Copies of this chain bind each other. A is one copy, B any other.
Amino acid sequence: MIATSVDFRSDNCGAVAPELIEALVTANSGSALGYGGDALTATLQARFTELFEAPVQVFPVPTGTAANALALAAAATPFGAVYCSPEAHVYTSECNATGFFGGGTKLVPIAGEHGKVSAAALEASIAAAGVGLAHKSQPAAVNLVQATDRGAVYALDEVAAVSGVAHAHGLRVHMDGARFANALARLGCTPAQATWRSGVDVLSFGVTKNGGLLADAIVVFTPAAAVDLGFHLRRAGLVWSKMRFASAQILAYVADDLWLRLAGRANAAATELAAQLESLAGVELVAPVDANELFVDLAPAALSALEAEGFLFQRRGPRLARFVCRWDTSASDISALADGVRRQVTSR
B237 and A66 form a contact (CB under 8 A): yes
B95 and A79 form a contact (CB under 8 A): yes
B25 and A21 form a contact (CB under 8 A): yes
Contact partners of A62 in chain B: CB under 8 A:
62, 214, 237-238, 240
Pick the contact of A213 from B7, B233, B242 — CB < 8 Å? B242
Contact partners of A240 in chain B: CB under 8 A:
62-63, 208, 214
Residue from A14, A95, A138, A208 having most chain B Cβ neighbours under 10 A: A95
A64 CA / B92 CA spacing, docked (Å): 28
Whether a CB of chain B sits under 8 angstroms from the CB of A96 is yes
For A29, the closest partner residue in chain B by CB is B15
A237 and B13 form a contact (CB under 8 A): no
Contact partners of A245 in chain B: CB under 8 A:
16, 213-214
- Least CB distance from A74 to B in Å reads 11
Listed stretches A30-38, A42-50, A112-120; interface member? A30-38
Contact partners of A106 in chain B: CB under 8 A:
96, 99, 107
A100 and B97 form a contact (CB under 8 A): no
Whether a CB of chain B sits under 8 angstroms from the CB of A12 is yes
CB contact under 8 A between A233 and B93, given known A66-B238, A208-B240, A228-B77: no
User: Interface code A251-279, partner B: CB below 8 Å = 1, 0 otherwise?
Assistant: 00000000000000000000000000000
Contact partners of A237 in chain B: CB under 8 A:
61-63, 65-70, 94, 97, 101, 236, 238
Whether a CB of chain B sits under 8 angstroms from the CB of A98 is yes
Counted per complex, copies of this chain come to 4
Contact partners of A14 in chain B: CB under 8 A:
31
CB contact under 8 A between A138 and B231, given known A25-B21, A98-B104, A237-B62: yes
A34 and B12 form a contact (CB under 8 A): yes
B97 and A235 form a contact (CB under 8 A): yes
A114 CA / B99 CA spacing, docked (Å): 28
Pick the contact of A95 from B16, B69, B134 — CB < 8 Å? B134
B34 and A78 form a contact (CB under 8 A): no
A22 CA / B209 CA spacing, docked (Å): 22
Whether a CB of chain B sits under 8 angstroms from the CB of A223 is no
